[in-house]
Amino acid sequence: MGQKGLQGRVAAAADAALEERKFVSVTEVCIGLGWLHATHVDSWRQGRVADLEQFLPVQQDRITEVIGYLVQWAAARGLTPEEIGQVAATRDRRQLRFTKNGDPDAESAWRTHWLALDLPAGQQQRITQRRSAPPDLVVVQPVKDWTCADCGGTGGLLIMDDAGPLCLTCADMDHLVFLPSGDAALTRRAKKASCLSAVVVRWSRTRKRYERQGLLVEEPALEQAEQQCLDDADARMRRRDRDAERRADQDVDLQQRFADEIVRLFPHCPRPRAQAIAAHAAQRSSGRVGRSAAGRNLDEKAITLAVVASVRHEDTSYDELLMSGVARAEARAQIKTPVDRVLAAWADSAAANTTSS
């Protein structure tokens, strides 16, 4: 591959990284070139390998070319370089090494990041903090037999160290308690309150990857987080109670106004009956006419429909006709006269609107 070809690929990879992540470094460019995979970077950040360079399929001189092209690309866009150190997800939180020999100039080049020019200062700071922050410690639930590199014992959890896998006792982490995944609020609070924590993962044979099982945290931190969640639950319950009370008050108000409107339209309708019709028609979540927009606005047609429905079911043989197999349209035709009679009596007018049909 010629220089122009590699230079173009570097520029394309850098442009893509800047667009997606709002920052660029040699690591992102090597991923874009297909020379590194995200799993390689993950293993390196977890401290399972000594350096990142060992994964690269090219020689050091080729990496030097890439770094040079990346510096040219950043300068052409007016980007300012910033070195961001990264630490391993190990108990000692050691600085991660990019190259095999640890050459200071090469390490500095790998640590250099270029951030997008249009980022607000706050977002730039968050990116820098996120990149330099130590990743979570990772504890493994092993799927195979294993032996602690220190004491020669075994256990249900291990953490990788330079010497090999360590049991939690030898890693000075046996005081931590396990919090299973599932409650995001509890996990977030427990992790925040715990000075020492670790993510617990287990290898999935079917998915061919490590999957999160939960978190190891200090017991006082877990107790504090549980209490905070309980306090929240109490607050949510009180809020639900207040909301329910407010909705009940609103329902009572609507039903009262609905009943008043029934009595206005049908002055001789007994007040208890009007209240019963209003309570039935305006019941929350019932889907009845009293809960429709027209019903809540006390539209005259909606009020009348509610009264007609009540008379139909309470004062005629409509339900019996339906149960005996009479079609709905035929049943309504048969009970139209008695419905109109009741409506006329309640309205005290022979010209009452006969909407039962």
Which residue, of 111, 135, 159, is where some domain finishes?
Answer: 135
What is the bridge-based pairing of β-strands 137-141 and 159-161?
unpaired
Residue 73 lies in a domain: yes
pLDDT of residue 356: 44
Which residue, of 110, 135, 160, is where some domain finishes?
Answer: 135
pLDDT of residue 351: 38
**CA–CA distances in Å: residue 76 to residues 106, 325, 348:** 22, 84, 90
Q: Chain-centre distance of CA 3, in angstroms?
A: 46
Residue 260 lies in a domain: no
Which residues of the chain are under the pLDDT cut of 50?
1-2, 349-357
Which residue, of 75, 109, 135, is where some domain finishes?
Answer: 135
Residue 316 lies in a domain: yes
Residue 85 lies in a domain: yes
pTM: 0.50
Residue 116 lies in a domain: yes
Residue 77 lies in a domain: yes
Look at the chain and report how many structural domains it folds into.
2
Residue 150 lies in a domain: no
What is the domain range of residue 314? 266-347
Residue 107 lies in a domain: yes
